[in-house]
Structure 1
Amino acid sequence: MDKEFWHRKWASNRIGFHMTDVNPLLLEYWSALSPQREEHVFVPLCGKSEDLVWLASKHEKVMGVELSEIAVRSFFSEHFYTPLVTQIDSYHQCYEFDELQLYQGDVFTAPLEPVELIYDRAALVSMMPSQREAYVQRLRELLKPGGRMLLITVDYVQAELAGPPFSVDHHQIQQLFQGMKTTLLCRKEVDPEHPKIAQQKLSRFADEVWLIEA
C-alpha cells in the first residue's frame, strides 16, 4: 500500500472508490457469517464507508482502521457524530462514538483487539501484490479462532489495468488463506456496456464475494 498515493487521493477528493450507499453485497451476504449482535467487527481500510453505520446497527462494537485523517473526520462530520478523540501515540488516533471505534493510522500497526468478524470490501484489493501476504497475516492475527470474514475482491486480467484495485483471482485466494476454509459465495460478471469493460477495454471484470473461516 502506497501511503502517499492514498493521502493524495483523499486530499484532492479523488475518491471514486467511495460508495455513497451501503454496499449491496454486504447487505446480501453478511448473513452468511451467521453473525451475532455481541460479536465484534473489524473493517480494515474503512474510509468513510456507509457500511460502518449499517454494521454498527447490527453489532455492539465495530472497529475500523483508516490511513487518512481526512476520511475519518469526514465520516463523523457527515453523520453529525461528535466522537471522543484519543491520541494513542505519534502515529495513531482513536475516534469513538457509541458502537464505533475508528483508528486513524496504519492497519499494520494500529493497536487492535482480535475480533470474531472481519469485513473487507476494498482493503486486500488495494494492497500491492508484494504486500498481500503480510496483510493477510495481519488479518489472521486479528481473527479469533472460529472467526469469519466476508471478503470482496475483483477479478480481471491484471495486465490490462494497472490498479488499484488489483485483481485477486481464485488461485491467489486459496494460497493467501491456506489452512482456512474458503467458500466462494458469489461471482458477478459485469456486462460489456459496464464502464470497466467499455472504457478501460478490459476483456472481463467480476466482483467476487468470499466467506473465509478460521
Structure 2
Amino acid sequence: MDAEFWHSRWAENRIGFHLSNVNPLLIKHWSVLNAQRDDRVFVPMCGKSEDLVWLAQKHDQVIGVELSDIAVKAFFAENLYTPLVTGVGHQHLYQFDEISIYQGDYFTLNIDPVDVVYDRAALIAMPEDMRQMYVEKLLSLVKTGGRILLVTLDYPQDELAGPPFSVPKADVEALFAGCKVTHLERDDADESHPRRQRGLSRFAEEVWLIEV
C-alpha cells in the first residue's frame, strides 16, 4: 500500500472511511483510558476526522499525522480554523489552538512521546506485511504506561479486498504481545449494514484497550 494509493483516494474524494460525525465508539470508550487534560493525545492517519475536534475539547495537546495535504487542508477549512503552517523536515506542521497535524509520512514522524493514542483508521489501513512495522513505530512514540484505544474490523478477508483490512483478535494480540490487551467491545453488523449488503457473510467492529 504505497503513498500514491492514499493520495489518489483523497484526490478523487473516494473516502468512504471518513466519518462525518464523531465516532460513537470514541465517545463511549475514551473514559476507560483515564486520560487527563494535560495528557498528549496522538491520532495516527487522522485524515480530516471530527474526532480531533472532540478530543481537543478535552485535552490541551492533540497531535495527528496525515499523509494527504488535501485531507489536512480540508480539516482546517471545514472547521473554519486558520492554522499556523511551518515546515519540519520533509513534513509540514499545521497548528491551531490544541490541535497539531503533521502532514507527511507516519513512518518518519519524530515527536516527543505521547501519553494516549486513538487509532480508528490506521492499523486497519495497513496490509498484513506492514502491520508489525506500524505497531513498532507506534509503540516507539508512546510513553511507558501509555494507553491506546484501538478500533479494528473483523470480517472474512477473502470475501472483500481491503483497505480497510480485517485485523482479527489473534492478530491484535500477536501485534501487541508485549502489552496488556483488553477487549472492550464487539459490534456485529446485521444484514442491513452496507458492508453486509456488499456480500460479506459477517462484519464486526471491535474496540481494544492496549496498555503499554
TM-score, normalization by structure 1: 0.97
> 1:205, 1:3 → 2: CA distance?
27
Paired residue for 1:24? 24
Paired residue for 1:119? 118
4+ residue segments displaced more than 6 Å: none
Q: Does 2:200 correspond to 1:205? A: no
Matches within 5 A, 1:148-167: 148-167=147-166
Paired residue for 2:74? 74
Give the length in aligned residue pairs: 212
> 2:23, 2:78 → 1: CA distance?
18
Identity among equivalent pairs (%): 58
Question: Per-residue CA shift, 1:118-176, capped at 9, x if unaligned?
Answer: 00000000011100000000111011011000000000011111100100001001100
What displacement does 1:65 show? Answer: 0.1
- Unpaired stretches in structure 2, ≥5 consecutive residues: none
- Unpaired stretches in structure 1, ≥5 consecutive residues: none
- Output the amino acid matched with 1:187: R
Paired residue for 2:38? 38
Matches within 5 A, 1:71-150: 71-89=71-89, 91-150=90-149
Question: Per-residue CA shift, 1:91-140, capped at 9, x if unaligned?
Answer: 20000111111000000102222100000000000011100000000111
- Output the amino acid matched with 2:100: Q
Question: Per-residue CA shift, 1:23-48, capped at 9, x if unaligned?
Answer: 00000000010111110100000000
> 1:128, 1:189 → 2: CA distance?
22
- Output the amino acid matched with 2:206: E
Report the aligned-residue RMSD: 0.7
> 2:17, 2:169 → 1: CA distance?
22
SS in 2 for 1:108: helix
Paired residue for 1:52? 52
> 2:140, 2:69 → 1: CA distance?
25
